[in-house]
Structure 1
């Protein structure tokens, strides 16, 4: 049931979720825009003064944890709270985390704040996307268009967040930027509380509560990681390396259990789970390149790009806003394009859209391969190199990310609905972790290796993208008629 009977329009609930997510993404992307710089800038600049390798590991662990925790966040909604309460309480936890980050002078409080934001985001993020999917029970191109509109809210929030928090963090004070992120999440909570009634009966708590075994396992794992870090058995760099394999292993086991061992699923549902696993791999590779925006590409902007205009130096974090600008520019036309092509029976299949997304991400890194050649020679390049890289990454994102969100809501077995949304975000978790670890290679003594590092990402992205395009027919058949 939606808030309007006119199926030609989008339900009012979409716009409630649009603005709630906009403010949450303001807080997340705004803080993320300055996080890596805060970690690696010197103590004399008010930052933490860590090495690129350690800073990259911490950045990767944080951003990956944000998405990895969407898996228990989806489970909590499916089995205990329901989606609406999960969004509400997740937002409160996020706000508390940003308040902790805004307190200067204590590394312990800072890392506690990072952990708190990650936990809250894991609770909020998969469930707000799940309700968007439930607003369109008929599925089809209209649901894709709805997700594209929702995606505009994400990127409007990230654009404003990176612009405001980036300026405050780099030009005024790092902790002022973190404080602005807390205010944004508060505004998102107010929006959701005042307008949540437009969601009707969607996202309510389940009638029967699930068993808590899964939560006990997650809690035990978090406690074990904390003990290993505090005791010094693991540092951030080694933990990041271990977590790459842990996340991959958890994902494989989860997909294997759902696809092979749950006898309640039909053959068609099992095949769809198999397709979702392939899309997971594609998404993880895409995000491992795309999420270089906050790590290696930010280093390139800070150290190898001419950012001075009329004597004023632009904050390096502002380059990340190119992605949000291009999203706002292209998302509505591309959403309309999918609907137009669907009417003409020319809409590309989902595997082809995924493939196009990967190819365009790879091409963006081909541009950076050439820009890095100048950096090796000690030449600061113009802003156009990063700008065009972000443009191709954005076009790739629009082919893959909103379509991927919509696809997971279409193909996921009903009993695993929010958990499968969590798995979609686990792909982003793995990609973010790889992006952070990858950025550790970009220290000032390692500039000569920069072109080959960018070229590696290009080749992997283009290669897998072409494979998806070539094998779209068998993947389409496994989807069991879902478009």
Structure 2
């Protein structure tokens, strides 16, 4: 997108009307609010649904397998952002891609709400994986379209948007988790479907008035000849995948463990290929190449951060269910409620961080140093989990405040890294790959969870100290390294702060 198109888009968006931000932020805030309600409501009970006994309404899967499936599911959700980014950049534009993604997500939750066992689980996963890949990177990309590159409200706008994401994630476990654990898992999943429906309604009713031209442009459209080639290749590729999948599953060649391992490899290979293609493209300028190189250490740092943060819904969820006192201060807690801690702290603290970055202005830490702080806090969130096991052993139930502290620390890191990473990605992206670079940002999470799929198998109560200590220690070391090399990285960003 050239500078003239960018100015035209910004001018078409009402620039005042939502907390001093462009009016379109209202539409995107509540679209993502309900999408995250549906996704995190489902995730709050999915692990338990997989490993609870059939007599308790679950599928009765092995705990280690269930944990790996959770990680690989999350990896595929973010990995599929490649599809969404490509469709938006080359074919549909971000607005249409967001709508189609929301429809697929809703259908996925409807399938999961049906009591059809493991088959429904995997069909639902496929629909939600593709749908989230279409919606999530593109709704964030539209947020970037609302602002000029020089607009000082940009970082605070992304922080407000991020607060909307987490407001949906906050109430989801309390509602969906309670219904799912106390009454019926499938009823809980049906509430997730309703949440996505509400998000689609908000988007369709308000987008024309609030978004203007944002999301309507196709930055790098396919020519007529390219469309023919792409569609024929996609059709042949999809057919081959279906045939190979059917044959390999029926013959026993493709098992769950082998599929998980394959996705773990893809989690490393795909972003490496992505960087290479964009760097070597003739459409990428020399300045943009320098910015891409600066983006690599930020990508690695974000990947390490998400490897810890995403274990909140896997390892810490299991910890809450098996190792934590669920009777506290006269209340009976549901283990799924702990999934609300992360978004609760973000909703409470996001305005503080948004105000802080604006208040500091040019004196605020550079983007690489904010990332390094994120790694330090993430590492500490795992280190503190060593203490109860070291003091009282692993045979006794733990005070729930240890989990509260762990989630609080990782949120401090998340607010240093995640909204800042979203904003930096829109500014560092080559102009020919805007939506696809946003997809690359979400690949940090995909890669992290692809690696987690192998790591989470090593967790057990008897390995707690080593497990939390090693992972937390690695994050702290990487954070310190990033802090000291940040001036070099900042110079390669060529004027982007």
Q: Say whether residues 1:266 and 2:285 are aligned partners.
A: yes
Distance 1:331 1:346 in 2: 19
Distance 1:205 1:231 in 2: 46
**Residue 437 of structure 1: CA displacement?**
3.4
CA deviation map 1:249-283 (0-9, x unaligned)? 12112101211x21332221111111222211111
Q: Is contact 1:145–1:335 with CA below 8 Å preserved after alignment?
A: yes
- Tell me the equivalent position of 1:386: 403
TM-score (norm 1): 0.94
Distance 1:21 1:377 in 2: 39
Distance 1:464 1:154 in 2: 28
**Residue 106 of structure 1: CA displacement?**
3.0
In structure 2, the CA distance between the partners of 1:377 and 1:186, relative to structure 1 (3 Å rule), is closer
- Tell me the equivalent position of 1:106: 117
CA deviation map 1:204-237 (0-9, x unaligned)? 1538436356774674785455654454213222
- Tell me the equivalent position of 1:400: 417
Distance 1:285 1:222 in 2: 31
In structure 2, the CA distance between the partners of 1:214 and 1:480, relative to structure 1 (3 Å rule), is farther
Distance 2:308 2:267 in 1: 17
Size of the aligned set, in residue pairs, is 477
In structure 2, the CA distance between the partners of 1:5 and 1:245, relative to structure 1 (3 Å rule), is closer
- Tell me the equivalent position of 1:138: 149
Q: Is contact 2:15–2:23 with CA below 8 Å preserved after alignment?
A: no
Deviates more, 1:226-235 or 1:460-469: 226-235
Unpaired stretches in structure 1, ≥5 consecutive residues:
none
CA deviation map 1:45-95 (0-9, x unaligned)? 110111122112211221111100001111001111111111111101100
Q: CA RMSD, aligned part only?
A: 2.0
In structure 2, the CA distance between the partners of 1:247 and 1:362, relative to structure 1 (3 Å rule), is same
CA deviation map 1:432-471 (0-9, x unaligned)? 23334333223xxx42211101111111111111111100
Q: Is contact 1:374–1:381 with CA below 8 Å preserved after alignment?
A: no
Equivalent residue for 1:317, pick from 317, 336, 344? 336
Distance 2:363 2:240 in 1: 47
Q: Say whether residues 1:416 and 2:433 are aligned partners.
A: yes
SS at match of 1:33: helix
- Tell me the equivalent position of 2:41: 30
Equivalent residue for 1:357, pick from 356, 360, 374? 374
After TM superposition, the runs of 4+ consecutive aligned structure 1 residues lying more than 6 A away are: none
- Tell me the equivalent position of 2:304: 285
SS at match of 1:471: helix
Q: Is contact 1:52–1:441 with CA below 8 Å preserved after alignment?
A: no
In structure 2, the CA distance between the partners of 1:226 and 1:29, relative to structure 1 (3 Å rule), is farther
Unpaired stretches in structure 2, ≥5 consecutive residues:
1-9
TM-score (norm 2): 0.92
CA deviation map 1:106-139 (0-9, x unaligned)? 3212210111111101000010000001111234
Distance 1:471 1:462 in 2: 15
